[in-house]
Protein backbone atom coordinates (compact mmCIF):
# COMPACT_ATOMS: atom_id res chain seq x y z
CA UNK A 1 0.00 0.00 0.00
CA UNK A 2 1.29 3.45 -0.84
CA UNK A 3 0.67 6.46 1.36
CA UNK A 4 0.53 9.82 -0.32
CA UNK A 5 -0.88 13.27 0.26
CA UNK A 6 -4.20 13.35 1.87
CA UNK A 7 -6.63 14.54 4.39
CA UNK A 8 -7.78 12.88 7.56
CA UNK A 9 -11.17 13.99 8.75
CA UNK A 10 -13.39 13.54 11.74
CA UNK A 11 -16.71 15.19 12.40
CA UNK A 12 -18.81 16.31 15.36
CA UNK A 13 -21.97 18.32 15.93
CA UNK A 14 -22.03 21.42 18.16
CA UNK A 15 -25.81 21.93 18.14
CA UNK A 16 -28.70 21.70 15.68
CA UNK A 17 -27.24 24.45 13.51
CA UNK A 18 -23.46 24.29 13.72
CA UNK A 19 -21.04 21.43 13.21
CA UNK A 20 -17.29 21.10 13.13
CA UNK A 21 -14.98 18.92 11.09
CA UNK A 22 -11.30 18.13 11.64
CA UNK A 23 -9.18 17.82 8.52
CA UNK A 24 -5.48 17.01 8.39
CA UNK A 25 -3.47 17.50 5.22
CA UNK A 26 -0.85 14.75 5.14
CA UNK A 27 2.88 15.20 4.39
CA UNK A 28 2.88 15.07 0.63
CA UNK A 29 -0.22 17.27 0.42
CA UNK A 30 1.78 19.84 2.39
CA UNK A 31 4.85 19.29 0.21
CA UNK A 32 2.80 19.67 -2.98
CA UNK A 33 1.35 22.97 -1.74
CA UNK A 34 -2.29 21.88 -1.61
CA UNK A 35 -3.18 23.59 1.68
CA UNK A 36 -4.34 26.81 0.05
CA UNK A 37 -6.49 24.95 -2.48
CA UNK A 38 -8.20 22.95 0.26
CA UNK A 39 -8.79 26.07 2.37
CA UNK A 40 -10.19 27.89 -0.65
CA UNK A 41 -12.68 25.11 -1.36
CA UNK A 42 -14.05 25.13 2.19
CA UNK A 43 -14.18 28.94 2.30
CA UNK A 44 -16.05 29.04 -1.01
CA UNK A 45 -18.72 26.85 0.58
CA UNK A 46 -19.10 29.42 3.36
CA UNK A 47 -17.41 27.45 6.12
CA UNK A 48 -15.31 29.13 8.80
CA UNK A 49 -11.76 28.04 9.60
CA UNK A 50 -11.70 28.11 13.42
CA UNK A 51 -8.30 26.49 14.05
CA UNK A 52 -5.22 25.55 12.07
CA UNK A 53 -1.90 24.09 13.15
CA UNK A 54 1.23 23.27 11.17
CA UNK A 55 3.03 20.44 12.94
CA UNK A 56 5.52 17.61 12.62
CA UNK A 57 3.77 14.59 14.15
CA UNK A 58 5.78 12.14 16.24
CA UNK A 59 5.35 8.37 16.44
CA UNK A 60 3.70 8.51 19.87
CA UNK A 61 0.98 10.88 18.67
CA UNK A 62 0.43 8.91 15.47
CA UNK A 63 0.23 5.58 17.32
CA UNK A 64 -2.54 7.10 19.44
CA UNK A 65 -4.30 8.74 16.48
CA UNK A 66 -4.26 5.55 14.40
CA UNK A 67 -4.76 3.13 17.31
CA UNK A 68 -7.73 1.53 15.54
CA UNK A 69 -5.41 0.53 12.67
CA UNK A 70 -2.48 -0.82 14.68
CA UNK A 71 -3.15 -4.47 13.79
CA UNK A 72 -3.44 -3.80 10.06
CA UNK A 73 -0.51 -4.92 7.86
CA UNK A 74 0.01 -1.42 6.46
CA UNK A 75 0.31 0.24 9.89
CA UNK A 76 4.14 0.43 10.07
CA UNK A 77 4.29 2.01 6.61
CA UNK A 78 1.56 4.48 7.51
CA UNK A 79 3.45 5.65 10.59
CA UNK A 80 6.71 5.89 8.63
CA UNK A 81 4.97 7.98 5.96
CA UNK A 82 3.25 10.26 8.47
CA UNK A 83 6.52 11.14 10.26
CA UNK A 84 8.19 11.89 6.91
CA UNK A 85 7.11 15.52 6.91
CA UNK A 86 4.86 18.16 8.41
CA UNK A 87 1.08 18.06 8.39
CA UNK A 88 -1.54 20.78 8.63
CA UNK A 89 -4.49 20.22 10.96
CA UNK A 90 -7.60 22.34 10.44
CA UNK A 91 -10.97 22.65 12.13
CA UNK A 92 -13.83 23.95 10.02
CA UNK A 93 -17.20 25.10 11.36
CA UNK A 94 -20.57 25.71 9.76
CA UNK A 95 -24.05 24.47 9.09
CA UNK A 96 -23.84 21.20 7.18
CA UNK A 97 -20.03 21.03 7.21
CA UNK A 98 -20.16 17.33 8.15
CA UNK A 99 -22.18 16.16 5.15
CA UNK A 100 -20.80 18.75 2.74
CA UNK A 101 -17.22 18.06 3.84
CA UNK A 102 -17.63 14.37 3.04
CA UNK A 103 -19.00 15.19 -0.40
CA UNK A 104 -16.19 17.70 -1.04
CA UNK A 105 -13.55 15.10 -0.14
CA UNK A 106 -15.00 12.41 -2.39
CA UNK A 107 -14.68 8.64 -2.19
CA UNK A 108 -11.68 7.16 -0.37
CA UNK A 109 -10.75 5.38 -3.61
CA UNK A 110 -9.65 8.17 -5.98
CA UNK A 111 -10.70 6.04 -8.97
CA UNK A 112 -14.27 6.31 -7.67
CA UNK A 113 -14.03 10.01 -6.76
CA UNK A 114 -15.69 12.41 -9.14
CA UNK A 115 -13.82 15.30 -10.72
CA UNK A 116 -14.39 18.39 -8.61
CA UNK A 117 -13.86 16.56 -5.32
CA UNK A 118 -10.60 16.96 -3.42
CA UNK A 119 -9.69 13.30 -3.86
CA UNK A 120 -10.87 13.24 -7.46
CA UNK A 121 -8.74 16.24 -8.36
CA UNK A 122 -5.58 15.63 -6.35
CA UNK A 123 -5.24 11.87 -5.83
CA UNK A 124 -3.79 9.37 -8.22
CA UNK A 125 -3.55 6.24 -6.04
CA UNK A 126 -5.62 4.65 -3.31
CA UNK A 127 -4.45 5.70 0.14
CA UNK A 128 -3.58 9.27 -0.79
CA UNK A 129 -6.47 10.75 1.23
CA UNK A 130 -7.60 9.16 4.48
CA UNK A 131 -10.90 9.96 6.12
CA UNK A 132 -11.59 9.41 9.80
CA UNK A 133 -15.24 9.73 10.72
CA UNK A 134 -15.17 8.68 14.37
CA UNK A 135 -16.86 11.47 16.30
CA UNK A 136 -15.40 10.37 19.63
CA UNK A 137 -11.84 10.69 18.33
CA UNK A 138 -12.28 14.17 16.90
CA UNK A 139 -11.64 16.27 19.98
CA UNK A 140 -8.46 14.35 20.78
CA UNK A 141 -7.37 14.71 17.12
CA UNK A 142 -7.44 18.49 17.47
CA UNK A 143 -5.28 18.48 20.57
How many Å from the N-terminal Cα to the C-terminal Cα in the chain?
A: 28
* Domains of the chain by start residue, with CATH: 8-122 (3.30.70.141)
Backbone angles phi, psi at 7, to 5 degrees: -135, 135
pLDDT digits (tens, 9 = 90+) for 9-49: 555 555 667 888 888 888 988 999 999 999 999 999 999 99
- Which residues, in sequence order, are bridge partners of residue 22? 10, 91
Q: What is the pLDDT of residues 51-65, one digit of tens each?
A: 999 999 999 999 998
Burial class (CB in 10 A: 0-12, 13-18, 19+), 111: exposed
Does the predicted TM-score (pTM) go above 0.85? Answer: no
46 touches 97 (CB < 8 A):
no
pLDDT tens for 63-111 read 998 899 899 998 999 899 999 999 999 999 999 998 999 899 988 777 7
Amino acid sequence: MMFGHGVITAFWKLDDHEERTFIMVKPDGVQRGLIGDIIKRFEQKGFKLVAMKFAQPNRELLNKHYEDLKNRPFFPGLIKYMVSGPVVAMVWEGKGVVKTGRVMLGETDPAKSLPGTIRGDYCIQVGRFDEREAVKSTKSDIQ
